[in-house]
Copies of this chain bind each other. A is one copy, B any other.
Amino acid sequence: MAEYIAPIQRLIEEFRRLPGVGGKTAVRYAFAALNFTEEEAARFADALIGAKRDVKRCPVCCGLCASEGPCDICRDEDRDGGVVCIVESPKDVMVMEKVRGYRGKYHVLGGVLSPIDNVTPKDLNIDSLLERAKAGGIREVIVATNPTPSGDTTAAYIARILEPYGIEVSRLAYGIPVGADLEYADEVTLLRAMEGRKYFD
């Protein structure tokens, strides 16, 4: 007998499906869940099913949305529709939203180009991006894909396909994270920080 009793083992397996959760963490979570009241367990279960059921895709930015139509950000008339920030995943929209200064809109790619993983432009929300570009009104696109080779390739690809529409395309700056110690920055980041250095006026 090396396994837990069936209902616990089953819950452990489910927790193991979460990213970065190994055996020991899954056991810890499962036993914590056993200490929930029945009401709490039911609420957790309902939240899991509810998230699957109630979360829709925004038809404009391809981000997540609580209702059928365009999402809150796409409908927000106070935001500048002339600037679109392109991110990899819906989660990244919220990450960027923490930058309170940004008042433009978004477009969620749903991934990055990656020949190794067989991800081509057809697998990403590129068509809907081009539609938005064709519809006009976009002055600038800020590509905020992750600072990885695939993210770079994708950014370059987007810059190329948006060129015919006269849209200015930029990429988030690479550099030393604010508050970090130079000593711990890797060489590639340091090189990029050197390349992107800003001169004092």
Binding site for B on A (CB under 8 A): 1-2, 4-8, 10-11, 13-14, 17-20, 25, 27-34, 36, 38, 40-55, 64-66, 71-73, 89-91, 94, 97-98
Interchain CB contact (< 8 A) of A14 among B8, B47, B64, B72:
B47
Q: Known contacts A5-B66, A66-B7; decide if A45 and B49 are in contact (CB<8 Å).
A: yes
5 closest cross-chain pairs (CB), A and B: A45-B45, A7-B54, A5-B66, A41-B52, A11-B51
Q: Is the CB of B34 within 8 A of A41?
A: no
- Interfacial chain B residues near A89, Cβ < 8 Å: 31
Q: Is the CB of B72 within 8 A of A31?
A: no
- Interfacial chain B residues near A43, Cβ < 8 Å: 14
- Interfacial chain B residues near A97, Cβ < 8 Å: 1-2
Cβ contacts A to B, 10 pairs, < 8 Å: A4-B94, A7-B50, A7-B55, A10-B51, A11-B50, A14-B47, A31-B90, A38-B53, A45-B45, A45-B46
Chain B residue with Cβ nearest A45 = B45
Interface residues of A, dominant DSSP? helix
Q: Is the CB of B28 within 8 A of A73?
A: no
A98-B17 Cα distance, complex, nearest whole Å: 23
Distance in angstroms from A52 CB to nearest chain B CB is 4
- Interfacial chain B residues near A13, Cβ < 8 Å: 47
- Interfacial chain B residues near A11, Cβ < 8 Å: 47-48, 50-51
- Interfacial chain B residues near A90, Cβ < 8 Å: 31
Q: Is the CB of A8 within 8 A of B45?
A: no
A20-B31 Cα distance, complex, nearest whole Å: 13
